[in-house]
Amino acid sequence: MRVYPNGNVYCATKHAVDALTKGMRLDLVDTPVKVSTVDPGLVETEFSQVRFYGDKGRAKKVYEGYQPLRGTDIADAVVWIASRPEHVQIAEIIIFPAAQASSMVVHKKEV
């Protein structure tokens, strides 16, 4: 998780969830409970509409010029994690669309 401008509360929350997850993994190591995270990049959801206070036009621009992930892409990862054998724990998965290299670097084609 990287921080970015105007994302301070969101980024701080993500860092807290990361610390909680890693701590739980340590505390539960002697149990059958597995602790995993799926950390998606740009997924086309209502998140941008919420982020931009209902401005649908501004939210739509976030996803222009590249193919963002879909909710089903993330769901596939969750199902895969849950279907691993008992002796396998997937600690974390980071999933980006092909056009995304980091939270701040996205290759967008002109539309």
Residue positions annotated with a catalytic role:
10, 14
* φ/ψ (deg, to 5) at 20: -60, -45
Q: For residue 54, what are the CA distances in angstroms to 9, 23, 28, 51, 86?
A: 19, 36, 40, 8, 43
> In angstroms, how far apart are the furthest CA atoms of the chain?
52
Q: For residue 10, what are the CA distances in angstroms to 13, 16, 41, 47?
A: 5, 10, 14, 12
Amino acid residing at 68: P
